[in-house]
Amino acid sequence: MPLLKIALKNIGRKRFRSLSIILAGTLACGLVFTGAITLKSVQDGLKQGMARLGADIMVVPTGYEAKGSKILLGGEPSGFYMDEQIEGKIAEVDGVSLTSPQLFITSLKIICCTMPTVQLVGIDPATDFAVTPWLNFTVKDKEAKFDPITVGSNTLYATEGMYISFFGKRFRVASAAAKTGLRFIDYSAFMTMDVARSMINISHTSSGESLQIKDDEISAVMVKINSDKDVYTVAANIEKSVPGVKTIISRNLVTTMRNDVKACLWGIVVAGILSWTMTIFLMGLVFAMVVNERRRELGLLRAMGATKKTMTELILYEAAVLSGIGSIIGVIGGWLALDRLKILITLVYGTEIQFLWPSPSFTFMTALCCGMAIIFSCTATAIGPAIRGSKTEPYEAIRKG
């Protein structure tokens, strides 16, 4: 196309001006694209992780709601306890379908080494529906010498067949779970409730730290509700019917974390909007200057038979090409920056947030929408200068130019 060739030559002649416009478009498109993909990735990762948990509600002692949330989302080791009879009371609440107890124990902190603490979780395989479906959980064989333990994929002990000790009790790693995307599973070690009780008793005589946990205590109760019940209503009924407990709704954790991530990404969004505004302003200013500088050139083109429409299209081609190049570079740069942004969010929250990368179709559509929005908005700012330039009379333009 002749007009496109002329536009490309004009862009090449004013390289500094062209690079300035391209850079502005790159920043605007890259920031918006990166923010959108990151938010979608975190949201999908959280939803998938909580769906794998299997429980609609987690019941914990009053005052430990924050720690319970951190265990589920962040895998942060913690321990808190309540009477195990509470599970029976929860099971009687209208709308509750299944219940299963869990016992949380934090492994010893080894001062001399860099071994991290691990969340030890005792579960009841007969009733558990939250963890065992996602683990190759193994119950002790009668002929086995050591009790089995199942470890998450991101623990340092995730090697089947190795032996480890906690609180003076020796275990054999019977199975290592595949990565689930939920830190509660990926960073914890699981054993039966009976084995956990045995470990507590052994700690009184064979460990540097004696576990002060009673035989009739549990940490939390996982609850699955009937499909025809509202989770918020059931949660409210549990707190009303069972004194001394608080409920944590899994979908609320997703919403809360998503809102926190939104707040973290708000700076990126604001920067993208400001960059976008700057790009539009810069594009309008530059093309107003371009039309004024090239009055003689435009006059000559008019004198050679170019119509007003042709002159307008020429300037709009330049705007579209520059903003298009900026959009492409912005999308590529934004994609390359996603891993770094993931690390930044990890540092902000002090824990790993599972990123589930969006589908190729979503990524493509997001990139396309961001790119087209930049192109259209930037090209629109050049319409005014283009129309004014096209109205210039050839004789006056050549004489004054």
User: Is the distance from CB of 127 to CB of 99 less than 8 angstroms?
Assistant: yes
Q: CA 365 to CA 149: how far, in whole Å?
A: 45
pLDDT score at 293:
65
pLDDT score at 113:
43
| Domain ranges, ordered by start, for the chain | 2-48+256-400, 63-243
Would you give the end-to-end CA distance of the chain in angstroms?
27
Q: What is the pTM of this model?
A: 0.57
User: Is the distance from CB of 320 to CB of 10 less than 8 angstroms?
Assistant: no
Residue 242 DSSP symbol: S
Query: Which SS3 state, helix, strand or coil, does residue 213 take?
Result: coil
pLDDT score at 378:
79
List average pLDDT for each run of 10 residues in the chain, which is 401 residues long: 66 74 80 80 64 75 85 75 93 91 81 62 88 70 75 73 84 76 78 91 82 90 87 90 88 58 63 72 72 66 68 78 87 83 60 66 88 84 73 59 52
pLDDT score at 114:
44
